[in-house]
Structure 1
Amino acid sequence: MKIKFTLKKLHLKETFSIAYGNYDHRNALLVELSHQKCKGYGECVAIDYYQINLSDFVLKLKEIQREIEGHNIIHPKDFFAFLVGLNLHPFLLSALDCAYWDLFGKLENKSFIELNKIPSNDLVESSITISVASIEEQIKKIRQSEWNKFKVKCKGLDKMQVEKLLQLNKNIALDSNASFTDEDCSWLQKNNEIQKFSYLEQPRPINNYKVLQKEGFANWMADEDCQDIDSLEELIPYYKSINIKLMKCGGLTPALEMIKKARELNYKIMIGCMTESTVGISAGCLLAGLGDYADLDGATLISNDYATGNFVENGKITLSGKPGLGIDLK
């Protein structure tokens, strides 16, 4: 097995504004694993509020390259156990895990769906993200969009914004990126109208969730508070829903285990994403049959996608059915 890794720059179609800041690009790391004539791909991106430094990841890959290349082709779950022993950051672990699933499936001529017996019919629709902006601009984008589901970013609680969004009679979720106060959360979860929002994501900074009441009107969804499977038990009294992102939890292998446990604990599940190319989005799309919500618009937001595979168009998730994760580079 051979490994290659390349730094990429993903250009956004327009400036992406969230509570953490404004962005016109994301830096990405593309990982390629190859064996015989097959190539598998995985990806991770630099997110500043996760303090990701891709240069550190490149150094780490150079350090472990010989170990990876000397490894035999085994089942991806066994290969993941090997990767865990290398003490990798979850983002880098995810890129390698996804690349290996892609490679393994191509070598076996079987899709990830087939290998894991995942439902692939009647997939939930994905939302598209509406950046932080004036409420007038946000409403304009929603009305002009061909998508049916929307995740509206906000910076702090504006009750007028909430009222106007509810009046649209659209499928809308709110994502404050941890910018709500305790008082904001109390008001929201006591307000009967708030249950019209499909969910309210990551209202408070990490580990500040004790104000949340699972039984209130708000469908609170954990994002940064829910990093991996070990987070689930602690969050039960506070969150009804969780956002599973492959980079957060370390890839497809741990995501499958996390979904299984989350179901046992009666969480609603969203399959989410960062700003990613089709390499990353293809992997996330394959889990859509296991989720209640999907937010897989990452590749839709960029102008220089460098891959083909599973994709989302106007919210509809389309699976290629190809072996592995179905990824090819353009």
Structure 2
Amino acid sequence: MELRFELKGLRLKETFSIAYGNYDKREALLIELSHQNCKGYGECVAIDYYQINLQRFVLKLKEIQTRIESHKIIHPKEFFKFLLSLHLHPFLLSALDCAYWDLFGKLENKSFIEFNQLPSENLIESSITISVGDIDTQIQKIENNSWNKFKVKCKGLNKADIEKLLELNQNIALDSNASFTDEDCIWLQENSDVQRFSYLEQPRPIDQYKVLNKNSFANWMADEDCQNLDSLDELIPYYKSINIKLMKSGGLTPALEMIKKARELNYKIMIGCMTESSVGISAGCALAGLVDYADLDGASLISNDYATGSCVENGKIMLSGKPGLGIELK
């Protein structure tokens, strides 16, 4: 097996504004694993509020390259155990895990969905993200959009804005990226109108969720608070829903385990994404049949997607059906 890796730049179609800051571009690390003329791809991106340094990932890959390349081809779930022994950051672990699933499927001529006997029909629709901005601009973007589901970013709580969004009679979720106060959360979860939002994502900074009540009117969804399998038990009294992103969970293999346990604990589940190319989005799309919500608009927000595979068109998830994750570079 051969390992290659390359830093890539992702350009956003327009400035992406969230509570953490404004972004016009993201840096990505593309992983390629190849064997017998088949190539598998995975990806991770530099997210500043996760303190991701891709240069450190490159140094780590150079350090472990020989160990990966000398490893025999085995089932991806067994290969993942080997990857765990390398003590990798979850973002880098995810890129390697996804690349290996893609490669293994291509070698075996079977898709990830076939291997894992996952549902692939009647998939839920993805939302598209509306950046932080004045409420009239946000509403105009919603009304002029061909998608049917929207995740509206906000920086702090403006009650008048909440009322305007609810008047639209659209499928809308709120994502404050941890910018709500305790008082904001109490007001929201005691307001019966708030149950008309499909969910309210990551209202408070990490580990400051004790004010939340899962039995309130608000469908609180954990994002940064839900990093891995170990998070799920602790969050039960506070969150109804969780956002599983492959990069923060460590890839497809652990995401499957998280989904299984989350179902047992009666969580609603979303498969989410960062700013990603179709490399990362194709991996996320493969899990769409297992979840209640999808937020897989990452590749739709960039202007220089360098890959093809599964995709999202106006919110509709279109699975490639090809072996592995169906990823090809342009």
TM-score when normalising by structure 2: 1.00
The one-letter amino acid paired with 1:48 is: D
Q: Indicate the residue corresponding to 1:298 in structure 2.
A: 298
Q: Indicate the residue corresponding to 1:11 in structure 2.
A: 11
How much does 1:202 deviate? Answer: 0.0
The one-letter amino acid paired with 1:175 is: D
* Distance (whole Å) between structure 2 residues aligned to residue 102 and residue 36 of structure 1: 14
Asked whether 1:190 is paired with 2:229, we answer no
Q: Indicate the residue corresponding to 1:267 in structure 2.
A: 267
Asked whether 1:168 is paired with 2:168, we answer yes
Q: Indicate the residue corresponding to 2:140 in structure 1.
A: 140
Alignment of 1:47-196 (within 5 A): 47-196=47-196
* Distance (whole Å) between structure 1 residues aligned to residue 187 and residue 175 of structure 2: 16
The one-letter amino acid paired with 1:54 is: L
Deviations 1:86-144 (A, max 9, x none): 00000000000000000000000000000000000000000000000000000000000
- SS of 2:276's partner is coil
Cα RMSD after superposing both structures:
0.2
* Distance (whole Å) between structure 1 residues aligned to residue 214 and residue 43 of structure 2: 34
Alignment of 1:180-219 (within 5 A): 180-219=180-219
How much does 1:63 deviate? Answer: 0.1
- SS of 2:230's partner is helix
Q: What count of residue pairs does the alignment treat as equivalent? A: 330
* Distance (whole Å) between structure 1 residues aligned to residue 160 and residue 147 of structure 2: 24
The one-letter amino acid paired with 2:293 is: Y
Q: Indicate the residue corresponding to 2:28 in structure 1.
A: 28
In structure 2, stretches of 5+ residues that fail to align are none
* Distance (whole Å) between structure 2 residues aligned to residue 155 and residue 74 of structure 1: 46
In structure 1, stretches of 5+ residues that fail to align are none
Q: Indicate the residue corresponding to 1:325 in structure 2.
A: 325
How much does 1:161 deviate? Answer: 0.7
The one-letter amino acid paired with 2:255 is: A
How much does 1:317 deviate? Answer: 0.2
- SS of 2:56's partner is helix
- SS of 1:229's partner is coil
* Distance (whole Å) between structure 2 residues aligned to residue 257 and residue 11 of structure 1: 33
Could you list the structure 1 runs, at least 4 aligned residues long, displaced by more than 3 angstroms after superposition: none
Q: Indicate the residue corresponding to 2:244 in structure 1.
A: 244
How much does 1:308 deviate? Answer: 0.3
* Distance (whole Å) between structure 1 residues aligned to residue 214 and residue 324 of structure 2: 38
The one-letter amino acid paired with 1:233 is: D
* Distance (whole Å) between structure 2 residues aligned to residue 17 and residue 87 of structure 1: 33
* Distance (whole Å) between structure 2 residues aligned to residue 310 and residue 161 of structure 1: 35
How much does 1:324 deviate? Answer: 0.1
* Distance (whole Å) between structure 2 residues aligned to residue 9 and residue 37 of structure 1: 26
